[in-house]
């Protein structure tokens, strides 16, 4: 499939947008109730949150990025995901100051920091950087290098008992990793598994996504717009579908990702305009025909 260059993209957007409404401007996106996802403990969150791996690093002025975060919160994207290795926790702490009660706050511990009482120390350091007394969700960032998963689970449970965290989960775990985790005492208290998932990266649909569904566990999808380069946003199929709904290709890609109620997407943006585009996905309803077109354009890869 050939991607559009910038000139072709702009031309197609304008041309298709002229058919979206009689006035020649794109109409409002086809909307329904805002999508949510439910964790295993009954906690309900919006199916679209905000990532932060690249925020606070000077790509945009901090004030602009803070405004983008505030815009996301006002539009219902109240889950904010960060991690100790992102170097964005202090930025997020400033951005949500005075609004902590509106935010479902997620951070992660790096696997190199879990030995001994490392999980407790890492959590305390994250809390200090974030300017809060608790995390809503705390994740083990990777399974790599963790030789005693049971001790990590125990540390998470101790943090929960101490009200430092309200729930815990994992990230980048394969099915075999999840099965190992669930064999550990209290391992089945895991709330979620955060993974890469997008139209361009559908591999987890073969085994991991069904496994999590069977265990009543939503998946958190990072890089839901396809990661570096975001070629999805220039794809003519997504551009055409977006024009039909009066929204961006990004909103289409995100609406596809969260379509079934068991995925929480966490796109990152330091741009107010892009956050507004993303937020449309919370209530964007794609037709069966549009879903078929997207499946045809981005089929599930062979094993």
The H-assigned helical ranges of 46-200 are: 62-74, 89-95, 118-130, 149-161, 175-182
d(CA 54, CA 198): 19
Cα→Cα distances 232→124, 217, 249, 259, Å: 38, 27, 8, 17
According to DSSP, the residues that pair with 193 across neighbouring strands are: 170, 219
| Geometric angle at alpha carbon 126, from 86 and 157, rounded to 5° | 115
Structural element, H or E, at residue 170: strand 168-171
| CA proximity to 52, closest of 62, 39, 37 | 62
d(CA 258, CA 170): 19
Residues identified as active-site: 86
| Geometric angle at alpha carbon 87, from 76 and 165, rounded to 5° | 60
CB 108 within 8 A of CB 84: yes
d(CA 82, CA 127): 12
Residue 113 marked ligand-binding? no
What contacts 69, CB < 8 A, 6 or more positions away? Answer: 50, 55, 80, 92, 95, 96, 275
The alpha carbon of 193 is separated from its chain's Cα centroid by a whole number of angstroms, namely 11
The SS3 assignment for 110 reads: coil
Tokens of 293: 């077109």
Binding-site residues for substrate: 141
Q: Which residues are annotated as a binding site?
A: 141
């Amino acid at each position: 499939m050939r991607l559009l260059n910038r000139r072709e993209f702009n031309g197609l957007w304008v041309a298709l947008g002229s058919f979206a409404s009689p006035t020649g401007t794109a109409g409002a996106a086809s909307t329904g109730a805002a999508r949510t996802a439910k964790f295993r403990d009954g906690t309900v969150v919006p199916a679209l949150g905000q990532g932060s791996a690249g925020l606070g690093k000077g790509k945009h002025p901090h004030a602009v990025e803070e405004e983008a975060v505030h815009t996301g919160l006002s539009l219902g994207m109240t889950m904010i995901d960060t991690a100790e290795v992102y170097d964005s926790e202090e930025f997020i702490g400033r951005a949500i100051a005075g609004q902590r009660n509106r935010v479902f706050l997620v951070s992660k511990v790096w696997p190199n920091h879990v030995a001994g009482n490392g999980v407790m120390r890492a959590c305390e350091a994250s809390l200090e950087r974030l300017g809060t007394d608790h995390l809503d969700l705390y994740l083990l960032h990777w399974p790599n290098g963790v030789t005693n998963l049971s001790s990590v689970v125990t540390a998470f449970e101790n943090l929960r008992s101490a009200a430092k965290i309200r729930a815990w989960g994992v990230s980048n775990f394969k099915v075999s990793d999840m099965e190992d985790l669930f064999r550990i005492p209290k391992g089945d208290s895991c709330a979620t598994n955060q993974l890469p998932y997008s139209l361009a990266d559908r591999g987890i649909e073969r085994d991991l996504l069904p496994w999590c569904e069977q265990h009543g566990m939503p998946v958190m999808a990072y890089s839901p717009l396809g990661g570096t380069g975001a070629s999805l946003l220039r794809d003519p199929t997504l551009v055409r579908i977006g024009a039909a709904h009066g929204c961006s290709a990004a909103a289409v890609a995100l609406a596809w990702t969260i379509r079934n109620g068991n995925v929480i997407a966490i796109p990152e943006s330091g741009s107010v305009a892009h956050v507004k585009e993303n937020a449309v996905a919370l209530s964007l309803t794609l037709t069966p025909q549009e879903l078929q077109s997207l499946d045809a354009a981005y089929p599930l890869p062979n094993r």
